[in-house]
């Protein structure tokens, strides 16, 4: 069906909407069907074409217009709208340009406004950048002109209907069973674990998988910029997300405020979806004040690099000496799991490291497992996590949890 015909039918439907702005979804679908059947009287269509046309018109008013079929496609993991004329999708790690476009920048901006309004957010010229989420949990990042030079820009990161379990990640080759079993033990024993990695490396997916090892009788508080986590195994769960300022520049609620508020909710563990700035110091202090077993993620190129980035973020949030910050990091974080997206577009765990303390003024990071590449076959990288030979040094949390026999080796 050509776009000119769709625009013509949209106008016919829109004229009916103006007569009845409070129309229900069922009534709107019925009116759209009437318009399509009338038009089909002089323009023969098959039954399948009529169904597709009705669905497309309905989605243009009550769904995500051109995006809805892509949102319904489980193979699509990311939708990238660079402008109303330039659309890309990611399927199975590969980017492709779509052969269609929005009719105008105004139509795309109307869609953007309906998305942000649905999650109580605001985006406009004075506040042109916003993170939001759709009802299905997909993450949306929006940038408007004048910041976006080509026109309104929207990126949608989709998530599976059901979160992946660790067994699914093992089956996908993200990590072997032995280190997965280690991580399960460490989560149950309340080790503080930080997940690092680059954009699109699977940090949130992995955090979800780890959270499934949290005992179901605990109370969890999650804190995120835009809610993405899908924790389904813990019934006593409080989920919070930040809020942008309103049009008057008031009412913003930051990650730092939410972390401080969470401490008054009697959580057993705190899960911070992603640490990006000064809230790092609040997260570290929370981990150091009795909230063992907490989890978080951050962007970095390696486990060692994550320590440096945490230092920088914590320093931006508190006027403390570097030595104090490093001691806070070493005391708060027990384990760093680093994820990478390899050249074959697969997502793998490439490091599992223990943070053992501070030596000569530097935070000590000891690898427990490292990814070793063994070659390439049919375009896929062959290799996996290999034990480094280092045993876990700090095992007192295992003893406190009655799990001292779970792992070999002696430790403090």
Continuous H helices in 263-408: 279-287, 303-317, 322-332, 396-400
Please state which of the ranges 1-5, 33-37, 363-367, 385-389 shows the lowest mean pLDDT.
Answer: 1-5
In this predicted structure, what is the pLDDT of residue 3? 62
Q: 366-371: list long-range contacts, CB under 8 Å, 24+ apart.
A: 366/390, 366/393, 367/303, 368/179, 368/182, 368/392, 369/179, 371/340
Q: What pairs with residue 131 in β-bridges?
A: 141
Share of the chain above pLDDT 70, in %: 92
Residue 19 has pLDDT above 50, yes or no: no
Query: From CA 284, how far away is CA 254, in angstroms rounded?
Result: 16
Question: What confidence tier does 50 reach under pLDDT thresholds 50, 70, 90?
Answer: confident
In this predicted structure, what is the pLDDT of residue 407? 67
Question: What confidence tier does 409 reach under pLDDT thresholds 50, 70, 90?
Answer: very low
In this predicted structure, what is the pLDDT of residue 256? 92
Q: Where are the domains of the chain?
A: 1-62, 65-158, 166-406
pLDDT, mean of residues 59-76: 78
Question: What confidence tier does 283 reach under pLDDT thresholds 50, 70, 90?
Answer: very high
pLDDT tens, 257-282? Answer: 999 999 999 999 999 989 999 999 99
C-alpha triplet 391, 395, 398: angle, nearest 5°? 125
pLDDT tens, 364-376? Answer: 999 999 999 988 8
Q: What's the alpha-carbon Rg for the chain, to the nearest Å?
A: 25
| Helix %, strand %, coil % of the chain (to 5) | 35, 25, 40
In this predicted structure, what is the pLDDT of residue 26? 75
Residue 286 has pLDDT above 70, yes or no: yes
pLDDT, mean of residues 232-245: 89
Please, what CATH class does the domain formed by 65-158 belong to? alpha beta
In this predicted structure, what is the pLDDT of residue 410? 44
In this predicted structure, what is the pLDDT of residue 61? 67
Mean pLDDT of the chain: 87
Angle between helices 303-317 and 322-332 (to 10 degrees): 120
Q: What pTM value is reported for the model? A: 0.80
| SS3 (DSSP) at 259 | helix
Residue 352 has pLDDT above 90, yes or no: yes
Residue 329 has pLDDT above 90, yes or no: yes
Query: From CA 286, how far away is CA 379, in angstroms rounded?
Result: 44
Q: What pairs with residue 140 in β-bridges?
A: 132, 156
Give the residue from 271, 279, 276, 314 showing the smallest Cα distance to 296. Answer: 271
Residue 65 has pLDDT above 80, yes or no: no
Residue 18 has pLDDT above 60, yes or no: no
Query: Which two tokens mark 240?
Result: 């919070």
Q: Does domain 166-406 have CATH number 3.40.50.300?
A: yes
């Amino acid at each position: 069906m050509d776009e000119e015909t769709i625009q013509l039918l949209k106008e016919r439907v829109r004229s009916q909407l103006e007569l009845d702005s409070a129309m229900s979804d069922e009534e709107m679908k019925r009116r759209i069907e009437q318009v399509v059947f009338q038009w089909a009287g002089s323009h023969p269509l098959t039954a399948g074409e009529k169904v597709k046309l009705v669905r497309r018109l309905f989605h243009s008013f009550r769904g995500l217009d051109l995006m809805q079929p892509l949102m319904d496609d489980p193979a699509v993991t990311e939708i990238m709208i660079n402008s109303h004329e330039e659309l890309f999708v990611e399927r199975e790690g590969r980017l492709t340009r779509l052969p269609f476009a929005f009719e105008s920048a105004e139509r795309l901006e109307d869609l953007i406004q309906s998305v942000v309004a649905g999650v109580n957010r605001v985006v406009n010229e004075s506040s042109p950048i916003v993170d939001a989420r759709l009802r299905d949990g997909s993450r949306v990042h929006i940038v408007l002109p004048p910041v976006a030079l080509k026109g309104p820009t929207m990126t949608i990161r989709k998530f599976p209907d059901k979160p992946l379990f660790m067994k699914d990640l093992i089956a996908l080759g993200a990590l072997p069973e032995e280190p997965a079993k280690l991580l399960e033990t460490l989560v149950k024993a309340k080790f503080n674990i930080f997940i690092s990695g680059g954009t699109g490396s699977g940090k949130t997916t992995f955090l979800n998988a780890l959270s499934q090892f949290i005992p179901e009788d605990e109370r969890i508080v999650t804190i995120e910029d835009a809610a993405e986590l899908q924790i389904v195994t813990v019934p006593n769960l409080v989920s919070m997300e930040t809020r942008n300022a309103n049009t008057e520049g008031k009412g913003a609620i930051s990650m730092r405020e939410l972390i401080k508020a969470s401490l008054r909710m009697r959580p057993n563990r705190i899960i911070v979806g992603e640490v990006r700035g000064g809230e790092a110091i609040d997260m570290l202090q929370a981990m150091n004040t009795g909230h063992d077993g907490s989890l978080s993620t951050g962007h970095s190129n390696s486990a060692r690099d994550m320590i440096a980035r945490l230092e920088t973020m914590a320093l931006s949030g508190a006027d403390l000496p570097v030595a104090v910050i490093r001691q806070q990091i070493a005391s708060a974080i027990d384990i760093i799991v680093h994820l990478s997206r390899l050249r074959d577009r697969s997502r793998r765990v490439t490091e599992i490291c223990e943070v053992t303390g501070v030596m000569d003024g530097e935070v000590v990071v000891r690898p427990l497992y490292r990814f070793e590449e063994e070659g390439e076959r049919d375009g896929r990288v062959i290799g996996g996590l290999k034990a480094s030979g280092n045993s876990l040094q700090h095992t007192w949390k295992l003893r406190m949890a009655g799990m001292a026999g779970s792992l070999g080796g002696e430790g403090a």
